[in-house]
């Protein structure tokens, strides 16, 4: 398995990069390609199984846009041909049309999917737990953001929300699942928290005989967390 990490020097929040370390530990034959700021993404001309990008600072978002924008045609072609992407946290915002801040600042994004983002960076950060479904799997996770996503046309969602906010608090749909592009506001070690989702992802990548590292312990922790998060007495916002 070959995984490309886009601009890993911007990955310093919430432990998102642990998702790739977990895949590598689960499948030691995995090769990691790091595309740094100023580099042409490898997947544009080369073959990779998965492209990954995790949460960034707001300044990191700007740097991502500046570096990725010259290759937006290559991104679009890759997505249409079925290239696998996993994009977590506020990185998903960069694949939409624009981010509009409450201050009036507008940030144009890559315009690969028809949605926009509304952000209030001076407000209290919006934090929540999350439970949703992916096919027949329950998925748990965390959110921490200043912004919310709004679909401007019909886009297939990655998760259907059971508890917590969707792409914004008024809807149940969460994220984007188009062809093999997966994007979600869920952040941090999503794959470690959800070992069965990780198995499903590996199967979609064509990795046979894949078992997540520390599967029994990870599955036990997942079951405990799912039971806690689905308990009506558990507070969801903090």
Domains and CATH numbers, the chain: 2-230 (3.40.50.880)
Nearest C-alpha neighbor of 117 from the set 142, 80, 76, 89: 89
Q: Two tokens at 18?
A: 């642990």
The model's pTM is 0.96
CB neighbourhood size of 118 (10 A):
15
Does the CA dihedral 220-221-222-224 come out positive or negative? positive
Sole residue written with tokens 């029994």: 216
Collapsed DSSP state (helix, strand, coil) of residue 215: helix
Pairing of strands 85-88, 2-6: unpaired
Give residue-wise pLDDT tens across range 12-63.
Answer: 778 899 999 999 999 999 999 999 999 999 999 999 999 999 999 999 999 9
* Residue 238: per-residue pLDDT: 66
Give residue-wise pLDDT tens across range 108-133.
Answer: 999 999 999 999 988 778 899 999 99
* Residue 93: per-residue pLDDT: 99
**Crossing angle between the packed helical segments 195-204 and 215-229, to the nearest 10 degrees:** 120
Instruction: Confirm if 39 and 212 have CB atoms less than 8 A apart.
Output: no
């Amino acid at each position: 398995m070959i995984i490309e990490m886009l601009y890993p020097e911007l990955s310093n929040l919430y432990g998102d990069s642990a998702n790739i370390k977990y895949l590598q530990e689960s499948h030691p034959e995995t090769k990691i390609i790091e595309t740094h700021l100023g580099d042409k993404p490898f997947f544009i001309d080369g073959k990779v199984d998965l492209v990954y990008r995790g949460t960034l600072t707001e300044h990191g978002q700007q740097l991502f846009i500046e570096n990725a924008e010259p290759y937006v045609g290559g991104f679009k072609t890759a997505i249409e041909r079925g290239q696998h992407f996993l994009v977590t946290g506020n990185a998903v915002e960069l694949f939409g049309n624009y981010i509009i801040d409450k201050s009036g600042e507008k940030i144009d994004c890559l315009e690969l999917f028809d949605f926009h983002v509304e952000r209030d960076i001076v407000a209290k950060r919006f934090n929540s737990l999350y439970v949703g479904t992916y096919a027949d799997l329950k998925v748990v996770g965390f959110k921490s953001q200043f912004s919310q996503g709004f679909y401007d046309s019909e886009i297939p969602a990655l998760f259907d929300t059971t508890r917590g906010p969707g792409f914004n608090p008024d809807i149940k749909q969460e994220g984007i699942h188009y062809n093999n592009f997966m994007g979600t506001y869920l952040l941090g070690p999503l794959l470690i928290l959800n070992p069965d989702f990780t198995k499903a992802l590996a199967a979609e990548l064509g990795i046979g005989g894949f078992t997540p590292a520390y599967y029994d312990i990870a599955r036990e922790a997942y079951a405990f967390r799912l039971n806690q998060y689905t308990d009506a007495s558990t507070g969801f916002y903090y």
